Amino acid sequence: MSYDEELAERVRDAVNEAAGDHASREIKMFGGLCWTVNTHMAVGCGDDDLMVHVGAAGIDEALARGARRATMGERTMGGVVLVSAADLPDDASLRAWVAPAVERAVARPPKPPKSPRPPG
């Protein structure tokens, strides 16, 4: 999977704006990009889509707004939807997806650091 550089730049700006003082991190994953805030996945981009963590309770509303379920192979990703870049023509439409995802990530307690793996 590759990602749209222009969309990635727009998402990067929207995440930074929405996260404010909260730590965000950009991670390359599966050939795309993912942004975590407060150690939790908020959004990502791959191909020509914005991937948004809406939570299980947010799926129906997101689908009604034009998103589609995110899948990985034959598996449906729980609480995650895809929004076509074509449906994000301006910054306001992008922020309408990114800001709530960032708020959701900020509201959760940070994940504890991973323990180092024992040698061997």
CA distances in angstroms from 26 to 13, 35, 51, 110, 118, listed in the order given = 12, 5, 14, 16, 27
Q: How confident is the model at residue 56 (pLDDT cuts 50, 70, 90)?
A: very high
Average pLDDT over residues 28-55: 94
Q: How confident is the model at residue 1 (pLDDT cuts 50, 70, 90)?
A: low
Strand partners, 80: 53
pLDDT for 116? 79
Q: How confident is the model at residue 45 (pLDDT cuts 50, 70, 90)?
A: very high
List pLDDT tens digits, range 13-33: 999 999 999 989 999 987 899
pLDDT for 29? 85
Instruction: Indicate the pTM of the whole model.
Output: 0.89
